[in-house]
Amino acid sequence: MSAPSLPLVLASTSPRRTELLARAGIAHEVLAVEVEEARDATLTPEQLTIENARRKAVQGSHFKPGRLTLGADTLVYIDSEPLAKPADLEEAAHMLRRLSGRTHEVCTGVVLARDGDIIDAFHVITHVTFKPLTDEIIRAYHAQVNPLDKAGGYGIQACTDMLLDHLEGSFENVIGLPVDEVALHLKQLSPAR
């Protein structure tokens, strides 16, 4: 009988990513990693998010020898410009004003690494269209949702009906991890895990 597969190492302390993996039944261990994220505006959304995910996964994999480690990075893009986590509520409100009544992209790069080597890398893009948002709606939203730890200044999983008109693609990707794609890639790697 073969030994049970060790759980995936998630190189992130994001409660949203942990919850998404748990809901999908993917056993994992959380590992906090500190990396300096790339902020190169000349990179495409795919390149930038994969680079940041690579930094997390590779560093995490050095702490857990032999273990498959997942790094992920999610960014919101409008007019080809990345919107990271806002510094304060004023910046968060400004971001929502920019997204109001428009379609933007949410790109998540995912990298799987083992012992410092990249095993797999992919990205998922979701197109998200917001309703027109007044300052009153933005204030009401921020009274219920802390935007400061979320790319683009919002969390789609909370008070969704206040912001969302419609989306094309993975809802979970907008939360922070395209878990269906992750599960598919893990399944493809399962003999090597």
Question: Are 53 and 73 a contacting pair, CB within 8 Å?
Answer: yes
Give pLDDT tens digits for 58-71. Answer: 999 999 999 999 99
Beta pairing partners, 168 = 127
Q: Which CATH class is domain 8-189?
A: alpha beta
Asked if pLDDT for residue 181 goes beyond 60, the answer is: yes
* pLDDT number for residue 5: 61
State the average pLDDT for the chain.
93
Mean pLDDT within 47-52: 96
Q: How far apart are CA 12 and CA 44, in angstroms?
A: 23
Nearest alpha-carbon partner for 73 in 100, 107, 104, 118: 107
- Count of positions (residues) in the chain: 193
Instruction: Find all residues with CB under 8 Å of 55, minimum gap 6, and list them.
Output: 35, 36, 37, 38, 71
| Sole residue written with tokens 């039944």 | 25
Residue 35: name the closest of 61, 68, 60 by CA.
60
pTM for this predicted structure: 0.91
Residue 191 has pLDDT above 70, yes or no: no
**Residues assigned a catalytic role:** 73
Separation of alpha carbons 144 and 147, rounded Å: 9
Q: Tokens 């379609």 map to which residue?
A: 103
Q: What is the number of other CB atoms lying within 10 angstroms of the CB of residue 105?
A: 16
Give the pLDDT of residue 149: 87
Cα–chain center distance at 11: 12
8 Å CB contact between 141 and 164: no
Q: Which helix (H) or strand (E) holds 160?
A: helix 160-163
d(CA 29, CA 111): 16
How confident is the model over 110-167, as pLDDT tens digits?
999 999 999 999 999 999 999 999 999 999 999 999 999 888 999 999 899 999 999 9
